[in-house]
Amino acid sequence: MSNFWVRYAGNRNNIIQNGDLSARINLDTLSEISHLYAIGPIEGLKGEITIYNGKSSIATIERGQPKIYSSFNYSAIFLAYASASQWKKIVIEKSINGLNNVEAFVQKMAKKNNVNTKKPFPFRIEGIIDSLNYHIIFKSDNAPHNKVEHQRVMQKFSIYNSSVQIIGFWADSESQGVYTHPDKRIHLHFMLEDNTESGHIDNIQLHEGAFFYLSL
């Protein structure tokens, strides 16, 4: 029996295909869940939600720069969320460059440790990144939303040689494309340990010696 569960609310396709930016879940309804992890975009595409072991990091944009709030007083268009209390700690022995290679590593470690990749599961990474590119999605107008508009409203940033906490979700065939991109099985958010920066990971180079945590 697993010591974790994964759920999701809303659907990424409603944003891209239908331009629907309305809320599907309120974070305050989850605030009492122990060992909570969650990722998703804020209602109206006003920022990014990251929750790491119950700690909320709401990344938005103010005066063109990232601004972080630690609050559950927000709603999400879609949200992948989980409760997980037991993790297997695995040392990342070689640097990993790019999300495709991170996805391959997650799949390899899951299979090696008898985690069912036909079902969704959360995972974590902690340690030093050599580089990390991320975005905070922030829509400031009422223009009709579509795939092109979605790219336009991404505010992009980078960090280097930093210690980070990453929460990721593995999608099964049913949830692939719902809280991940259609051709991806993982969705990753990060936060700095002091919660001064967070967002949706677009690309990453993990330093060897970082730790990968697999939910069991």
In the chain the domains, ranked by start, together with CATH numbers, are 4-83 (3.30.1330.80), 86-134+157-215 (3.30.1330.80)
Give me 173's structure tokens: 């065939």
pLDDT in tens, 28-53: 999 999 999 999 999 999 999 999 99
The pTM is what? 0.96
Strand order, beta sheet including 4-9: 4-9, 79-84, 36-41, 48-52, 55-62, 65-69
Confidence of residue 2 (pLDDT cuts 50, 70, 90): confident
The confidence band for 142, taking pLDDT boundaries of 50, 70 and 90, is: confident
Picking from 119, 107, 102, 109, the residue whose alpha carbon sits closest to that of residue 88 is: 109
Query: Stretch 188-208: mean pLDDT, rounded?
Result: 97
What integer pLDDT is reported at residue 178 of this predicted model? 92
Is the pLDDT score of 1 beyond 70?
no
- In terms of Cα–Cα distance, which of 138, 133, 135 is closest to 62? 138
Instruction: Determine contact, residues 54/34, Cβ cutoff 8 Å.
Output: yes
The answer to whether residue 147 scores a pLDDT higher than 70 is yes
| Whole-Å CA distances, 30 to 33, 77, 83, 93, 178 | 6, 15, 10, 35, 20
Res 176 pLDDT > 70? yes
CA 196 from centroid of its chain's CA atoms: 16
Q: Report in angstroms the alpha-carbon separations of 144 from 36, 52, 147, 183.
A: 34, 32, 10, 25
CA gap 158, 156 in Å, rounded: 7
Confidence of residue 105 (pLDDT cuts 50, 70, 90): very high
Phi-psi region of 6 (alpha: psi -120 to 50; beta: other; left: phi over 0): beta
Token readout for 127 is 């340690």
* pLDDT tier at 215, thresholds 50, 70, 90: very high
Mean pLDDT for the chain overall: 96
pLDDT of residue 182: 87
